[in-house]
Structure 1
């Protein structure tokens, strides 16, 4: 299928001075357009063997100059971040002919921040977080459902925040905004962090 990319242009004069302001504006546009899961982002990490791995996670906030998500700290992604904090995030807003690529380093958020988010989660999501030994091999679906039922019995009231679950903040070294263009002459504008602040560069498509 051939696509002509006619949704718009991205010019330097239209950019916000701060990349987070630009990102918030683009996220607002994605929400307003009714995109499914507009806060979904592809998180890529690298294992000790040099093998990259990617998965979709949900952006849960922009906090202290970084992009925040939450996960099991025993998961593959978390263990790879522990060994190599350099990661990338990709927001693929394909229906809008847009993409945002973030490169930077991930670090854990304070437990208080994880607790503040944890209490906003539905009870079934809290139970599921306890029941799942994320990224480990299990015998079957029945095993997972039995573990969830056991957690629900153990915590009939409030479900506490597990020690093994929490947030990460990706502090970017660069944020690239991509807008599809006619004849594949796409607009790619990248904010790159320097000591004096952010500089903007246009990349060839």
Structure 2
């Protein structure tokens, strides 16, 4: 089939791309829209490097066609920062050294952003004690389960969990003290 115009709303910007119907959302973002943050890892939906957020839901962009997302709001890693300032989660990833080579980091960040929203909405996971009730707290076990679709070949998992926990704790009423605690931890590590 010949290319046709496909309108995508990515990171608050409208894109009209000439795409064949078989073009994946991942390829549309990278090759046609020029948004190189989303990574092509396995191209089979197994690694999570291509995770983006579509209408508030995290998806593997390598497993879906771009034409299926017309009219949806898509957020990539480039859209997580606001007015040039990193999101609290992005800052937490830096403060907790939650990446090594960085290849999986865009997918990890998009997945974790959606994870925090899912938890705020009361969405249960497989490890939630009672799926009929809002999860009581975002434990490390909850974070690990909810992030299980994102692979880090470098093995930065404990730091990723710590960063997500810190961003979650910092988003509550103790946001000021949570940020101070992380700065103190970083300063102590630098002085060691």
Higher strand share: 1
- TM-score, structure 1 as length reference: 0.29
Higher helix share: 2
Say which structure, 1 or 2, has more relative contact order (CA 8 Å, 6+ apart): 1
Structure with the greater alpha carbon radius of gyration: 1
- TM-score, structure 2 as length reference: 0.30
